[in-house]
Structure formats: structure tokens, C-alpha cells
């Protein structure tokens, strides 16, 4: 398959302040990981390459939709996993919901309410209108939002490339197992190799 960077996007999954910043929802609860914290600086050269080549940057924002009184709708399984989440966390258009500063701006931003960025969102519509055919997928967590999004992109005939060193989970073993499983649905590549592909090297 021929590759045109103008029809490619770096799809950043959930690299948001509420996940990564010490003042965000996860940071305040002590839910951190050095592998996750290292991702923005690792991904930045890739964003520079795709922008210079005329491609796209797409960001997914995990969102807790507020209901009456601003109390968010939180699924039962998430309440059990992350009991610290509450009012104001991952709220639409908030600082916590936003892509981390050093990766901004995104050309397309899509709020999501579940693991997959395609579930009940405008993702497929937006990618189609932008003429995007190839997705370099990075972000968190490898076994959750990344894996679900890659699989859903694959069944919609997008050319998916998961960036092995551009994703992370809360444990290295979990990350490695997820990467192995994703090799059955699309390509897996290092960031340096993705930059070379984008630059035509």
C-alpha cells in the first residue's frame, strides 16, 4: 500500500491533564506511572514530523458527562476501578479534559465516553471528512483505550499502526501483552520508524 503523509494522522489517545498532570484527577489520587508520564516528550518529535508533512493530529479526550448538579455519569466498572473520580473530573471543555499543553494543538478533537474512540463519537465521520486513511496510534492505556480504538479502526478499514514506544499502561507486562495482541490486527512500529516513514526515508 502506498503511503501519503497528507492522508495520515497521529491519533493521540487520552493524553489529558486529568490523567497525566500531578494536579489532575489521577495525579491527586496518586495513580501515576513513569512510563505514562514519559509519553508526551517521546511523542513530540512525531507530531513535528506529521505537521511538517501536511498530515493531521487527532486527540481523543476521555470525558465524564455531567448530569444534574454537575455530578458525572460514571459506569459501575469505572467506579470500582477508580473510586476517586468525581464532580469536575474529565468534565467537557475543562483544563483536566484537555490534551496536555506540550502536545497541543490538535487538528481534530473527539470526546469519548468509553475505551474505544469510535464508540458513539464523531471519530469516523471526522477522519473520513479529513481524508485520513492511516492512523499512527499512541497514548494510554495500551490494553484499554489504545487497543479498543485500534481494533475499531481496523474493522472500519483504516490502516492502523500502533506505536509500541508511544503507548503505555500501568504495568510493563500489561503493555507488552497488549502490543503482542495488536500485531494480529495491524502494524506495530517504533516512533523513530514512523518518523522515517513520514519523512519518506
> What is the spatial distance between Cα 117 and Cα 60, in angstroms, rounded to a whole number?
7
Residues 168-197 have a mean pLDDT of 96
Smallest CA-to-CA distance from 116 within 134, 143, 88 is with 143
For residue 179, give every residue at least 6 positions away whose Cβ sits within 8 Å of its Cβ, in sequence order, or none. Answer: 142, 162, 164, 167, 188
Q: Which of 117, 121, 86, 119 is nearest to 15 (CA)?
A: 117
Mean pLDDT (the chain) is 96
Could you give phi then psi for residue 49, rounded to 5 degrees? -65, -45
Q: What is the pLDDT of residues 24-35, one digit of tens each?
A: 999 999 998 999
High-pLDDT (> 70) share of the chain, %? 100
Q: Is the pLDDT of residue 156 over 80?
A: yes
Average pLDDT over residues 29-56: 96
pLDDT tens for 65-97 read 999 999 999 999 999 999 999 999 999 999 999
What predicted TM-score, i.e. pTM, was given to this entire model? 0.96
Is the pLDDT at 1 greater than 70? The verdict is no
Residue carrying the nine cell digits 514519559: 38
CA distance 140 to 41: 14
Residue-wise pLDDT for 102-152, tens only, equals 999 999 999 999 999 999 999 999 999 999 999 999 999 999 999 999 999
Tell me how crowded residue 37 is: count the other CB atoms within 10 A of its CB: 15
pLDDT at 201: 80
**Fold type of domain 5-61+96-198:** Rossmann fold (3.40.50)
Q: Using a pLDDT cut of 90, give the percent of the chain over it.
A: 96
3-class secondary-structure state, position 83 = coil
Task: Indicate the pairing of strand 187-189 with strand 159-168.
Answer: parallel
Amino acid at each position: 500500500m502506498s503511503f501519503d503523509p497528507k492522508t495520515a494522522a497521529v491519533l493521540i489517545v487520552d493524553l489529558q491533564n486529568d490523567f497525566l498532570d500531578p494536579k489532575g484527577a489521577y495525579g491527586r489520587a496518586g495513580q501515576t506511572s513513569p512510563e505514562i508520564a514519559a509519553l508526551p516528550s517521546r511523542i513530540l518529535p512525531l507530531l513535528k514530523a506529521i505537521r511538517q508533512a501536511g498530515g493531521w493530529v487527532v486527540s481523543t479526550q476521555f470525558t465524564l458527562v455531567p448530569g444534574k448538579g454537575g455530578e458525572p455519569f460514571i459506569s459501575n466498572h469505572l467506579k470500582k476501578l477508580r473510586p476517586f473520580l468525581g464532580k469536575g473530573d474529565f468534565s467537557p471543555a475543562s483544563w483536566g479534559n484537555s490534551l496536555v499543553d506540550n502536545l497541543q494543538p490538535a487538528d481534530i478533537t473527539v470526546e469519548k465516553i468509553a475505551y474505544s474512540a469510535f464508540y458513539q463519537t464523531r471519530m469516523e465521520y471526522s477522519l473520513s471528512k479529513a481524508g485520513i486513511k492511516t492512523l499512527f496510534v499512541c497514548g494510554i492505556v495500551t490494553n484499554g483505550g489504545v487497543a479498543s480504538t485500534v481494533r475499531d479502526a481496523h474493522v472500519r478499514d483504516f490502516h492502523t499502526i500502533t506505536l509500541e514506544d508511544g503507548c503505555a499502561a500501568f504495568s510493563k507486562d500489561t503493555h507488552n501483552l497488549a502490543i503482542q495482541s495488536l500485531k494480529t490486527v495491524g502494524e506495530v512500529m517504533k516512533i523513530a520508524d514512523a518518523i522515517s516513514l513520514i519523512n519518506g526515508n
